A and B are shown apart, each in its own frame.
Chain A
Amino acid sequence: MKKVVINGDFAASYGALSAEVKFIAAYPITPQTLVVEKLSELVSDGELKASFVKVESEHSAMAACMGAEAAGVRSFTATSSQGLLLMSEVLHWSARARLPIVMSNVNRAVGPGWSIWADDTDSISQRDTGWMQVYVENNQEVYDAILMGYKISEDPGILLPTMVNLDAFFLSHTSEIVEMIDTEDVRKFLPPYDPKYKLDVNDPHAFGALTSPEYYYEFTVKIHKAMIKAKRKIQEVGKEFGDKFGRYYDMTEAYKTEDADIILVTHGTIAGTAKETVDRLRAEGKKVGNLKIRYLRPFPDEQVYEHLKNAKKIVVVDRSISYGKEGAFYSETKASLFDYNLFVPTYGMIAGLGGRDVSIQTIREIVKTAEDNEPNKIFFIGEKK
């Protein structure tokens, strides 16, 4: 173990280093640029023995990763915002091709107007590509999620890619202490990638051929089933990671939810602020809790229900909006509760769009809004009138 003080971008680079990826293709985009720069340095210095292709676009970054991964080579890339949107076509392609690529995505607003600040619209809009999506709270989790991501994605029963989402600037450019795991120990946790099927001259196959309605349906269902299966795998890997390295992870993280009347449902860095606010509100006598959702896909329906079933009010915070409806995490949470016939007053809170700060004061305002208003609709927190 080695402790370093690094920003979230470097944590992503070091995650790829510790996972001993053999192939990287990447294109620079603010505020992800530092991931690419650090990886260039690590590869040039020989610290990471990998091929690094400096492609001419994010579209080609993902396409090149597909080629390498299909040839049985563990691959990594990093992107953000417009870059992720440009990749959209190949995000679908890589997932349908069942290629367990891991990518870090720095959540950044999309244009116009040009914005380089935190917002989830980029990754939320790619929800249905077949990529697993994990949202992280701090730089340690960036690093850990990449290592766990490969382990989960490369499972022969899953074989789906993982997108590790971290908030622009709040993580990408903020330094924190990150504990790096020794390579030997990582190897015991994450063995080398050795897929059963790959582009192999000794065992030739054609991948992704024209598929008639006779077969296409089943291929799609298999992806869905693999994604459902991944829920258990995510839990198993999170526990194994904790047993080995001391940091436990699950699909969700409940904080003081057991006796809470109001439960905040948050993700990403907002979860950290929410937990701090929960402590302060409790000190003032309010029974508030926080449920951090780590995975948007697969979505932890069972856990969401279990943790929220006794709440009197459920308050979901989104840093994006599906125009004409509401925030995605709000929709997903409500759908899970509906599946269990649980009808509790819910509130959708839109906060922090385009990098506007979500402070303890903002979370207080969110809780107060839920206390003072009728439920089952959305509220714009911090909107200038």
Chain B
Amino acid sequence: MNQEKKKLTITIPEEEIMQAGHLACQGCGAAIAMRYALKALGKDIILDFPACCWSVIDGPFPYSATQVPLFHTAFETAAAVASGITNGIQAIGNDHTTVMAWAGDGGTFDIGIQALSGAAERNDNLIYTVYDNEAYMNTGIQRSSATPHGAWTTTTPVKHFKKGEKKDIDSILVAHGIPYLATTSIAYAEDMVKKYKRAKEIRGTKFMHVFAPCPTGWKSDPAMTVKLAKLAVETGVFPLYEVVNGKYKLSIKPKELKPVEEYLKLQGRFKHLQKDDIDYIQKKVIEKWEILLKKVEMFGE
């Protein structure tokens, strides 16, 4: 046996900024997302949360699990408040503190998109994270424009499941010409930490789209959260890539995409789907994947 052990390189900072005692559900992807994001970004940071799961997860008054300054704000204001913080502190000479808006998909794709578009157009110096669990989970699993075709939610019941595609928020943000956009997944911690570190070094608006499974809303086994996030990447449902100044770059390129059924079958929200429905979803996933590959080819580095 080779005595010379390969040295394990730890690329993820060991310090835990987010503390135990938070109120997330078992297997919450959004909790894992915050843990890694803060590890990457460090303590010189100010956060703001609109109404979202994290309004609860962080803990009720007088508790806070994040241990960094944090402003809770109204649903549609995450980006605008972050703009205020970042431009405000710059006006009094602070150009080192990272300012991050941290919002769910409802607060980003739907009610918050106007303020987000404003901040992105102005290219305000902030990180905007959407932790995407594909529905209004905190209010009780109602569909958002991030809910994928085929999904059950409390406002898209089984008989009338969500019809129509998930809004392509990433292309919308890319079209704003922001300097950095990344899709990340809680199943790829190293990739996520690397991307957040990269975002921290760039001035302007950085958009981070974190795929964060929700066992409560997806009717999945809490123990399967990371596996589901991984399958989303491996099936092409949620590809991981970066867009740096308009240049697309794939972060993970599966040799062959796994069948989407492997991902769908682990979730109760899709269990009503018939073969035709699954075939349709598979077809759309492939279509979108190929479009992404074309973008990488056309606008790649």
Contacts and interface: CB of A to CB of B under 8 A. Distances in A.
Interface of A: 22-23, 25, 49-51, 53-57, 59-61, 63-73, 75, 89-90, 93, 97, 199-201, 203-212, 215
Contact of B70 (A66, A68, A206): A206
B83 interface: yes
B267 interface: no
Nearest to A68: B88
A60 B63 contact: no
A215 B71 contact: no
Interface string B197-231: 00000000000000000000000000000000000
Interface of B: 43-46, 48, 55-56, 58-64, 66-74, 76-77, 79-92, 97, 114-115, 117-118, 121-122, 124
A90 B88 contact: no
Given A59-B77, A210-B61, A212-B60, A66 B84 contact: yes
A90 B82 CA distance: 14
B63 A209 contact: yes
A97 B81 CA distance: 13
A48 B104 CA distance: 37
A51 B59 contact: no
B60 A67 contact: no
Interface centre among B48, B92, B97, B114 (most CB of A within 10 A): B92
A73 B83 contact: no
B66 A206 contact: yes
Contact of A53 (B55, B73, B83, B114): B83
B69 A199 contact: yes
Contacts, number: 165
Nearest to A25: B84
Contacts of A68: 84-85, 87-89, 91
A364 B272 CA distance: 75
A375 B135 CA distance: 58
Nearest to A60: B80
Contact of B88 (A57, A61, A67, A208): A67
25 contacts: A22-B92, A53-B122, A53-B124, A54-B122, A57-B118, A59-B77, A60-B83, A63-B74, A66-B84, A68-B84, A68-B88, A70-B84, A72-B88, A73-B91, A73-B92, A75-B84, A90-B77, A205-B70, A206-B58, A206-B59, A208-B71, A209-B60, A210-B59, A210-B60, A210-B72
A150 to B, nearest CB: 15
Contact of A56 (B59, B61, B117): B117
A208 B45 CA distance: 18
Nearest to A64: B84
B79 to A, nearest CB: 8
Contact of B60 (A51, A65, A207, A211): A211
Contacts of A60: 77, 79-80, 83, 114-115, 118
B74 A73 contact: no
Contacts of A53: 83-84, 87, 122, 124
Nearest to A89: B74
B85 A70 contact: yes
Nearest to B97: A201
Contacts of B45: 201
A67 B72 contact: no
A73 B115 contact: no
B60 A25 contact: no
A53 B118 CA distance: 10
Contact of B43 (A50, A67, A90, A201): A201
B55 A50 contact: no
